[in-house]
Structure 1
């Protein structure tokens, strides 16, 4: 797996470390990003994507007047 380097503000890095409970800023950011991606995948699995809504919901007939 390729690695990249990202520069962060030191205050942001410290907050991420506290939130993740790690002593390394790199580990903390990696944990946060992995959690964010996992949440996205779980949400997609529960709700489906935008195309699923059109597939599942039939088109409603237009209301007839008079």
Structure 2
């Protein structure tokens, strides 16, 4: 996989390293990015799951009330 080089503020990277409990700046930033992407996928999956039942309810005719 191709690599990308990004310049970041040293204090920001150190804070990420401390929060992630990682000793390498590269690993710490990679963990944050991977977590962000995974969180986005989970959010998309939850949104899709919520939309499906709603679409099914709209297709189903209401029960007759007597």
* TM-score (norm: length of structure 1): 0.72
* Partner residue in 2 for 1:14: 14
CA deviation string 1:34-54 (max 9, x = no partner): 001000000100112xxx68x
Displacement after TM superposition at 1:19 (Å): 1.1
3-state DSSP class of the match of 1:34?
Answer: helix
Aligned residues: 54
CA distance in 2, matches of 1:19, 1:29: 11
* TM-score (norm: length of structure 2): 0.72
User: What do you get for the CA RMSD once the two structures are aligned?
Assistant: 1.9
* Partner residue in 1 for 2:37: 37
Moved over 4 A (4+): none
Q: Which runs of 5+ in 1 are unaligned?
A: 59-66
Select the structure that is richer in helix.
2
